[in-house]
Structure 1
Amino acid sequence: MDAARRHLLATFGMAGIAVFLPVAAQPEENPRMYGLIGKMRATPGQRDALIAILLDGVGGMPGCLSYIVAQDPADADAIWITEAWTDAASHKASLSLPAVQQAIAKARPLIAGFDSHVETVPVGGHGLPKA
């Protein structure tokens, strides 16, 4: 699987389309939160359509604490996606949800590529539980 496809799979968090890299297992009694921040590029002129797909049905993903899609004001085709999950396993499980699979299929033709992607370990903040 090439890096661009792995990145797409992980960034789509909405279920991420797939996990970019395996995440080290955490002890069950103290799982760490899991975060993703990625910059996705829409095909020219399709950013709003891609955003609509990304935002449709983002509720109801077990373990998803936050899923934010933002326009890049300096790039008419760029989208930033920021996610926080209770743990990496919840993110990975979200990828098998029917709504996520449907969104991936709809969005794929509108995605031109990915500029950056990072995994994070959220430790807290407004709306998140304390670590």
Structure 2
Amino acid sequence: MTGPGWPVRDGSRRDVLAGGFGLATLIATPGFAASEDKKMYGLVGKMTAKEGQRDALIAILLEGSGSMPGCRSYIVAKDAKDENGIWVTEVWDSREQHAGSLKLPSVQAAINRGRPLIAGFDSYFETEPMGGIGLS
């Protein structure tokens, strides 16, 4: 895996969240589109929790997710076919705001608590969201 969000194995939130995960389809709405000069930044990825630790890891991933400046959407979802799989989808106002979130004390604390519960990282995708429900 390469790219922002998952590839860096330096103990950052990228390691824990793998850049964020959860396959959500964004359907463009007529009243909203990303401006040409300000591109949104998106991450979608899948991680695998250690056996029996998925719910505990999800709880950690969701803690404090409402207080990340510039975060438009942060979705954590259970994989329907993999009992240890977790998908996370993130949409940010910018790549810079995502990078800044990695320095927040609440995110750093979540990294430290979540790291031991992660068995591995799977898919990772970096996106440029264009709009959709909930992104206005």
TM over 0.5, shorter chain: yes
Which residue in 1 is equivalent to 2:106?
99
The reply on whether 1:89 has 2:96 as its aligned counterpart is yes
Q: Give the distance between the partners of 2:16 and 2:126, measured in 1 at CA.
A: 13
- 1:93-124 Cα deviation digits (max 9, x unpaired): 00000000000000000011111101000000
Deviations 1:67-105 (A, max 9, x none): 000000100000000000001000000000000000000
**Structure 1 gaps, min length 5:** 15-28
SS of residue matched to 1:52: helix
Aligned-residue offset at 1:30: 1.6
Matched residue, 1:49: 56
Local SS of the residue matching 1:70: strand
For residue 103 of structure 1, what is the amino acid of its counterpart?
A
TM-score by length of 1: 0.80
The one-letter code matched in structure 1 to 2:92 is W
Letter in structure 1 aligned against 2:9? R
- Is 1:80 the equivalent of 2:87? yes
Number of residues paired by the alignment?
A: 114
Contact 2:20 2:44 survives alignment (8 Å): no
Contact 1:13 1:91 in 2 (8 A): no
2:9 equivalent in structure 1: 5
Identity %: 57
Report deviation, 1:9: 5.6
Relative to the length of structure 2, the TM-score reads 0.77
Query: How far, CA to CA, are the matches of 2:8 and 2:121 in structure 1?
Result: 7
Residue in 2 that maps onto 1:64: 71
